Structures are given as structure tokens and as C-alpha cells.
């Protein structure tokens, strides 16, 4: 390759990141002791600090039993409050607008209980055609819950024929033309498949101007790109913490509800004892007194041992800062893009993520196949030659892992996603991706 391994090492020396704060798994294949981990968009690596912090919480339970609710070093009753301010800083929200609880799809449902209110001709829910399936199932089941036909209710916005990603203008044009029928716009801030970063402020403004509620699934955006949810006037948002937030598999998720909705007695909401204000919670009254904060959306007392990893991770984001991470992310992903440009030439591989750095986070998605996307759905390799040279996305990622120690992640049939994560990925990891692809995929002659 034109870009050499030494060049990667030089870049790493000049721009080292924070890899030393993480556990990087050993490699099972290839010639390097550690994996090149490019799957932080799926599951982030474990911060070194997490284990001790988690053990300290576990010790409090061993020593104190039930008294830990008030006497633990980090008392359990208000434990979730420790996560609120750093989570709010991460997504550009006020603390009153932010809470960490449950998991992502559960939170989307709880938010739709409040914010999906179909009425009259305004019943539709707008998602992207390549929405993560859980979101698609969630909105379809919400439509059914309201007695509506999901096929007629859920609008799936598709890229133009021959294009891989949505144009902002197409979303805006749709909302201008048909917004009067839309009750809810619920899009992914960064699309899980293509890595496209949507224009959150422009789409939010257009959706709200059309009279719809606008919510965002930020699973692939939180900790990946800078966010300003409050200033962008987003109605609500939810995100998970196991991808870029490195809080472990199935980690607790985050929720944002804009200040203008807080304390609104007209909003329906499902409640439990954690929805009532903390000061009178133990008066055990039959009727709740929800606070005028997003904590009113909480239901159960939170799992403390699941909160520790989120707290530890958010401290890390606070200490490094999103602006610095975004800067490094742009450098690292730009470098991976240059390497992929070199290695995809002549091979049946195409980067489908937008080339404009402002329209993406750190993830670059590579499609196995050479021509543009055709409808409906993603195009699978069309010729026998393409399949035999590369295999499916799963087959290719297995080869990358076992023969080269490169961990990427596959979305069948034909997308392989590579995410150089600015906290811990290196320029050398990116170089290993390109080197492994060059070896694993024959040049098309
Ligand atoms: C964009 C998006 N939405 C929703 C989910 C589902 O998340 P959960 O299983 O935490 O509800 C995922 C999981 O990867 C996702 O990427």
C-alpha cells in the first residue's frame, strides 16, 4: 500500500488518544498481539476504571445490606443523579431534561406513550427505510396499539434510486408536502447501517414547523458526534450506552425530554414509584406527585450495579471532552477513508458513508459490491464472481477476524462497518483494516 505501516505508527505517536484507559482484547489471528477493534459502534471496549468502581458498589452491598440506600459512599437512593449532569453535557441538554434509565427500545416506547398521539388525519410516523429493526418494530407496534394499520401509518423514507443515504432536502420536502399527516418523526441521528449523520437541527425544525413531534434515536450518535438537543429544540431523544459510551453489553440507556414538555399535566405517561418526587416518595401515598423534570418518566428503582459502568464512562467523556474527541475522530476517520480509497480501487468494495465529514460520525460502512444501491433494500452482490471473491458480509468479517485479528461488524447481506473510535482506536488499527482487506479481497480483473 502507498500509505505505510510506519506512517501509521508516526501518526499514532503524534496523536495518541486514550487507548491506555481501555482493555483491548488479545487477537486470535494475524500477526499482532491485540485485535484492531473497529466495532465500537456495536459494543464499546471496557474502560480500565470500570471493574474497580463496580466492585466498590458491590462491596457496599456486602458491608451495608439495605442501609446502602443511604449510607453507601455513593448512596443508592439518589445514585442516578450522579449520571444526570454528565449525560446532559454529553447530549447538550439541561440536567432537568436528562435521565439514565432502562434500555433504549423500552425508553422509545415510554416516550411514544407521551409523544405519539395520533388524532384526526395526523396519524403517521416517519422513520428512515434503513431504520434499525427494533425501531421499526417499536413504531409498528405503537401504531397497532392505537388501533391503526402499521403499513398505512409508518412512512419509511428511502434514499433516491441509485443513492445510499437520505438527502436532508428530501426529508424537508416530504415534511413540507405531507407534514400535516405526520404525528411523529423518529429518525436515527446517525444511521446504524450507513453511518450517515442526519441534519438534526434542520429536520427537527421542519418537523415541528409542520406540527409534528420530533424524536431522535441517538444510539449511534451519543458519544460519537457533538449534540445540542436543548438548543436544537428536539422534543425527545433516547440513546443506549453500550456503543460509544463503553458502558457494557445491554447497559442502561439515556433519555432526553425538552424542557417545554416538563411538568405538562396533559401528557400521558406510564408511572411507578420512581416517577414521583424523591422528597415524598416514602410517604407511600396512593397518588404520585411527579417532579417537573424528565425523572417523571422513570418507573422503577434503578439497577445500581448497571449504573456504575455508565457513571465511570461518562466521567471519562467529561475529562476528555466531546470537542476534543470530535477533532480526533475527524482525523482518524479521514485517515481510514484515505486508506479505504486506496484499497477499494479495483476491488468489489464501496464506501457508502457520506464523504463529507460533517455528514458522518466515526463509522465508515463498506458495501460488498460495486454498483449503487437499488430498491427496495440494500443490493446484494449480483454476480457469482462478486460472491466468490468476497463472500457475504459475515464471511468477510470472519476472515478479517480469524486471519488478521481485525474486529469489524457485519450487517447481512453486504455491509461491513468499521468504526475507529476516537477514545481508543489508533491509526495503526485503521492501517490494519486496509491491509487485511487488501489481503482478504482479490483485485477484480
Ligand atoms: C439505532 C438503534 N436503535 C435501537 C437499538 C436497540 O437497542 P436496545 O436493544 O438497547 O433496545 C439499536 C441496537 O443496536 C440501535 O443500533
Give the pLDDT confidence of 117-132 residue by residue, as tens digits.
Answer: 999 999 999 999 999 9
The predicted pLDDT at position 445 comes to 59
> pLDDT tens across 141-199, in order?
999 999 999 999 999 999 999 999 999 999 999 999 999 999 999 999 999 999 999 99
Ligand 1 site, residue 132, Cβ cutoff 6 A: yes
d(CA 6, CA 10): 6
Residue 389 has pLDDT above 70, yes or no: no
Ligand 1 site, residue 293, Cβ cutoff 6 A: no
The predicted pLDDT at position 373 comes to 38
Ligand 1 site, residue 352, Cβ cutoff 6 A: no
Ligand 1 site, residue 103, Cβ cutoff 6 A: yes
Percent of the chain with pLDDT over 90: 93
Mean pLDDT of 250-269: 98
Is pLDDT larger for residue 372 or for residue 273?
273
Residue 135 has pLDDT above 50, yes or no: yes
Ligand 1 site, residue 105, Cβ cutoff 6 A: yes
Chain-centre distance of CA 316, in angstroms?
18
> pLDDT tens across 21-73, in order?
999 999 988 899 999 999 999 999 999 999 999 999 999 999 999 999 999 99
Mean pLDDT of 1-11: 96
d(CA 121, CA 72): 53
In whole angstroms, how large is the CA radius of gyration of the chain? 23
Mean pLDDT of 373-389: 46
Ligand 1 site, residue 192, Cβ cutoff 6 A: yes
Q: Which residue, by CA, sits nearest to atom 8 of ligand 1? A: 104
Residue 370 has pLDDT above 50, yes or no: yes
Distance 105 CA to ligand 1 centre (A): 7
What predicted TM-score, i.e. pTM, was given to this entire model?
A: 0.95
Distance 84 CA to ligand 1 centre (A): 21
d(CA 112, CA 383): 43
Distance 240 CA to ligand 1 centre (A): 7
d(CA 440, CA 386): 13
Amino acid at each position: 500500500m502507498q500509505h505505510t505501516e510506519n506512517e501509521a505508527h508516526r501518526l499514532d505517536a503524534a496523536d495518541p488518544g486514550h487507548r491506555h484507559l481501555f482493555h483491548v482484547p488479545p487477537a486470535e489471528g494475524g500477526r499482532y498481539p491485540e485485535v484492531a477493534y473497529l466495532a465500537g459502534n456495536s459494543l464499546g471496549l471496557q474502560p480500565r476504571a470500570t471493574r474497580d468502581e463496580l466492585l466498590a458498589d458491590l462491596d457496599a452491598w456486602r458491608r451495608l445490606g439495605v442501609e446502602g440506600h443511604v449510607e453507601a459512599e455513593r448512596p443508592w437512593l439518589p445514585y442516578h443523579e450522579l449520571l444526570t449532569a454528565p449525560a446532559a453535557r454529553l447530549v447538550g441538554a439541561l440536567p432537568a431534561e436528562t435521565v439514565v434509565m432502562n434500555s433504549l427500545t423500552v425508553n422509545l416506547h415510554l416516550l411514544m406513550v407521551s409523544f405519539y398521539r395520533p388524532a384526526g388525519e395526523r396519524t403517521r410516523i416517519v422513520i428512515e427505510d434503513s431504520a434499525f429493526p427494533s425501531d421499526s418494530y417499536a413504531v409498528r407496534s405503537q401504531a397497532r396499539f392505537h388501533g391503526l394499520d402499521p403499513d398505512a401509518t409508518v412512512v419509511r423514507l428511502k434514499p433516491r434510486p441509485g443513492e445510499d443515504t437520505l438527502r436532508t432536502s428530501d426529508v424537508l420536502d416530504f415534511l413540507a408536502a405531507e407534514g400535516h399527516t405526520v404525528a411523529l418523526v423518529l429518525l436515527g441521528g446517525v444511521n446504524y447501517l450507513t453511518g450517515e449523520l442526519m441534519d438534526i437541527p434542520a429536520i427537527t425544525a421542519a418537523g415541528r414547523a409542520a406540527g409534528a413531534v420530533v424524536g431522535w434515536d441517538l444510539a449511534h450518535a451519543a458519544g460519537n458526534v457533538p449534540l445540542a438537543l436543548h438548543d436544537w429544540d428536539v422534543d425527545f431523544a433516547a440513546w443506549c450506552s453500550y456503543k460509544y459510551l463503553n458502558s457494557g453489553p445491554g447497559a442502561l440507556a439515556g433519555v432526553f425530554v425538552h424542557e417545554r414538555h416538563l411538568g405538562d399535566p396533559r401528557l400521558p405517561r406510564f408511572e411507578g414509584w420512581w416517577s414521583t418526587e424523591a422528597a415524598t416518595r416514602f410517604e407511600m401515598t396512593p397518588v404520585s406527585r411527579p417532579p417537573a423534570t424528565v425523572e417523571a418518566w422513570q418507573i422503577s428503582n434503578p439497577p445500581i450495579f448497571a449504573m456504575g459502568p455508565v457513571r465511570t464512562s461518562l466521567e471519562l467523556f467529561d475529562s476528555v471532552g466531546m470537542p476534543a474527541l470530535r477533532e480526533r475522530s475527524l482525523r482518524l476517520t479521514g485517515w481510514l477513508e484515505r486508506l479505504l480509497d486506496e484499497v477499494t480501487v479495483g476491488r468489489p468494495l464501496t464506501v457508502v458513508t457520506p464523504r463529507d465529514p460533517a455528514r458522518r460520525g466515526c463509522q465508515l460502512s463498506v458495501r460488498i459490491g460495486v454498483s449503487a444501491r437499488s430498491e427496495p433494500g440494500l443490493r446484494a452482490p449480483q454476480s457469482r464472481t462478486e460472491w466468490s471473491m468476497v463472500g457475504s458480509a459475515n464471511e468477510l468479517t470472519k476472515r478479517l477476524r480469524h486471519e488478521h485479528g481485525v474486529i469489524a461488524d457485519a450487517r447481512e447481506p453486504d455491509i461491513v462497518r468499521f468504526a475507529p473510535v476516537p477514545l481508543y482506536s489508533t491509526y495503526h488499527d485503521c492501517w490494519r483494516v486496509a491491509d487485511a482487506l487488501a489481503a482478504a479481497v482479490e483485485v477484480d480483473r
